[in-house]
């Protein structure tokens, strides 16, 4: 508290006592001031003025996020569930209602960006997730580059390919990208911000120095895209080159290819932000969804849902679609909103316990939550084929199978598959790491007629196996099941301890 607000005590009256609310506000005020002083102190340890300004700019953005977190913490959740409505027909347009594009001229104004900040740790890999081999010896990155190369040569255009890396993936990604230097493709990279992890108890940064170990920092989610594009100079560069539109997607979504129909719709409907959504299945109940909130289209993430409304959120009846994170954004609109400091996405507070036992908070934002800031923003309900993420080896199983073939870097569903939906596949912990997954299949089974596969325990597959209908294979603890080469399993439950012999 300032000196002006402090009353001296004398014999005639007692000093004022703060109410609980004022005390809480004062505590948060102290936390904000202490954080600001600490960030400023760190900045002043940097001698080089250019480096100091860059660090200060990054910490200013972090501080804005931190104060928003403190405000939300003191006021509680801002979401009024009674105002959460299903989107109107104008807010989500079916893909089939968009006119077909017969003129690729708009490609000259397009840039493509992949969110490439993630590591492959959940799949047991070291380094960027985009470096994992997914099909025919090619990585996520290889497939993306091949798609853009083909697009450029087919339509005689120059669509730049941009990677937003994190400090975790930047060095390795640049090394990998170097092999494309002779290709007909303009590859740009920039880093998303590097923010200090916050000690949960003291609400102070873990780090005491700008050069501290990377374990004390974190990349603040893909909502950081806008500020990082501006800070890196990439945004101004694209605009100066005549680019007006940006197609953004996750690097692990193999269905996120450039779609001329959506691009044309964006230009001709004078839209600043388009979000591709697709129909929810039981596997997608936690995905963010678009809602109407006081007449504005907004992204509702699972973290924002009050516990008593969680079942309603997960139901397919009220919230029928979810966000694929395939986004089409107007570049000049990004610049306008960022210059006016109007980006105000909901803060996601991720609590983590480090190996040292220290409890920390990471403040993040989601890029799709920015939809509320753009003019004429809406969703497009696209076919499921545009959402093919590889988050686990169960997903890897699907994309490496005969369900798909490769066409100029694009995965295409096998026409022999009679249903548009993909099988539901659940592989157990023994398959969790990519190396273990690969060692358990002599070849990926044929699954054109598969509906559901569950595999748990020590199970191995010979070459040329075919799976149809519903197949459940459970090896009990201490047991092993070997599926012999060229077997056909159709609507089968296999359990126990079994080594099937060839005849």
Looking at 333, 362, 386, the residue that finishes a domain is 386
Pair 382, 411 in one domain: no
Q: Among the options 109, 391, 426, 433, which is catalytic?
A: 391
Residue 8 domain-assigned? no
Pair 270, 284 in one domain: yes
Task: Tell me what pLDDT residue 25 has.
Answer: 61
Known catalytic residue at 391: yes
Pair 214, 308 in one domain: yes
- The CATH code of the domain that includes 209 is 3.90.550.10
Q: Long-range contact list for 86-90, CB < 8 A, 24+ apart?
A: 86/291, 86/292, 86/318, 86/319, 87/290, 87/291, 87/292, 87/297, 87/379, 88/292, 90/378
Global confidence as pTM? 0.89
Residue 104 domain-assigned? yes
Mean pLDDT, the chain cut into blocks of 10 residues (503 residues total): 39 44 64 94 94 92 93 74 90 96 92 93 85 89 94 95 93 89 90 94 92 91 93 96 98 95 96 96 82 92 86 85 96 94 87 90 94 96 93 94 92 89 93 94 96 95 96 92 94 76 46
- The CATH code of the domain that includes 478 is 2.160.10.10
Annotated binding residue 332 = no
Pair 175, 120 in one domain: yes
**SS3 state of residue 329:** strand
The tally of CA atoms less than 13 A away on the side-chain side of residue 266 is 28
Pair 178, 66 in one domain: no
Looking at 386, 409, 429, the residue that finishes a domain is 386
Give the DSSP letter of residue 177.
Answer: H
Residue whose structure tokens are 């405000």 = 71
Looking at 45, 75, 105, the residue that finishes a domain is 75
Pair 198, 329 in one domain: yes
Pair 250, 362 in one domain: yes
Task: Tell me what pLDDT residue 393 has.
Answer: 94
Task: Tell me what pLDDT residue 27 has.
Answer: 65
Annotated binding residue 408 = no
Contacts of residue 338, Cβ cutoff 8 Å, sequence gap at least 6: 226, 227, 230, 235
Annotated binding residue 222 = yes
Task: Tell me what pLDDT residue 469 has.
Answer: 96
Annotated binding residue 192 = yes
Residue 426 domain-assigned? yes
Annotated binding residue 391 = yes
Task: Tell me what pLDDT residue 24 has.
Answer: 55
Backbone φ and ψ of 24, nearest 5°: -65, -45
Q: What range defines the domain where residue 308 resides?
A: 81-386
Pair 48, 134 in one domain: no
Residue 364 domain-assigned? yes
Task: Tell me what pLDDT residue 22 has.
Answer: 56
Pair 295, 196 in one domain: yes
Into how many domains does the chain fold?
Answer: 3
Residue 412 domain-assigned? yes
Residue whose structure tokens are 């025919």 = 136
């Amino acid at each position: 508290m300032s000196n002006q607000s402090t009353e001296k005590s004398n014999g005639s009256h007692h000093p004022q006592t703060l109410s609980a609310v004022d005390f809480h506000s004062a505590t948060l005020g102290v936390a904000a001031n202490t954080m600001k002083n600490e960030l400023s102190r760190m900045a002043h340890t940097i001698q080089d003025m250019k480096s100091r300004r860059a660090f200060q700019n990054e910490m200013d953005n972090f501080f804005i996020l931190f104060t928003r977190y403190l405000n939300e913490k003191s006021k509680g959740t801002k979401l009024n569930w009674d105002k959460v409505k299903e989107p109107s027909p104008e807010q989500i347009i079916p893909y089939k209602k968009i006119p077909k594009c017969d003129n690729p001229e708009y490609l000259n104004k397009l840039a493509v960006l992949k969110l490439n900040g993630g590591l492959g740790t959940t799949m047991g890999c070291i380094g960027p997730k985009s470096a994992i081999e997914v099909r025919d010896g090619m990585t996520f990155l290889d497939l993306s580059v091949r798609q853009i190369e083909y697009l450029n040569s087919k339509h005689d255009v120059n669509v730049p390919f941009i990677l937003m890396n994190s400090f975790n993936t930047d060095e390795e990604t640049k090394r990998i990208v170097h092999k494309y230097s002779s290709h007909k493709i303009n590859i740009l990279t920039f880093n998303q911000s590097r923010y200090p992890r916050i000690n949960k108890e003291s609400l102070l940064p873990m780090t005491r120095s700008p050069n501290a170990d990377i374990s004390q920092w974190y990349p603040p989610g893909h909502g950081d895209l806008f500020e990082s594009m501006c800070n890196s100079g990439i945004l101004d560069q694209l605009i100066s080159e005549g680019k007006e539109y940006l197609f953004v997607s996750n690097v692990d979504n193999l269905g996120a290819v450039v779609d001329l129909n959506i691009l044309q719709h964006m230009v001709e409907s004078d839209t600043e932000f388009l979000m591709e959504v697709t129909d929810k299945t039981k596997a997608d109940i936690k995905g963010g969804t678009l809602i109407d909130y006081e007449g504005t289209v907004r992204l509702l993430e699972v973290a924002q849902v009050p516990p008593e409304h969680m079942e309603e959120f997960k139901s397919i009846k009220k919230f029928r679609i979810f966000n694929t994170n395939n986004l089409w954004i107007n570049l000049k609109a990004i610049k306008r909103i960022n210059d006016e400091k109007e980006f105000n996405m909901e803060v996601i507070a991720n609590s983590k316990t480090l190996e040292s036992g220290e409890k920390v908070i990471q403040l993040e934002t989601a890029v799709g939550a920015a939809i509320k800031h753009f003019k004429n923003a809406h969703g497009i309900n696209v076919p499921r084929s545009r959402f093919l993420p590889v988050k686990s080896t169960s997903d890897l199983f699907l994309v490496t199978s005969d369900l798909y073939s490769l066409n100029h870097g694009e995965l295409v569903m096998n026409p022999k598959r009679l249903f548009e939906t993909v099988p539901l596949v659940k592989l157990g912990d023994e398959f969790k790491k990519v190396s273990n997954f690969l060692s358990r299949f002599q070849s990926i089974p044929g699954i054109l007629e598969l509906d559901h596969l569950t595999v748990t325990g020590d199970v191995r597959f010979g070459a040329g196996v075919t799976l149809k209908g519903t197949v459940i294979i459970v090896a009990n603890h201490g047991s092993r099941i070997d599926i012999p080469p060229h077997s056909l399993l159709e609507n089968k439950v296999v359990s126990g301890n079994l080594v099937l012999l060839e005849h």
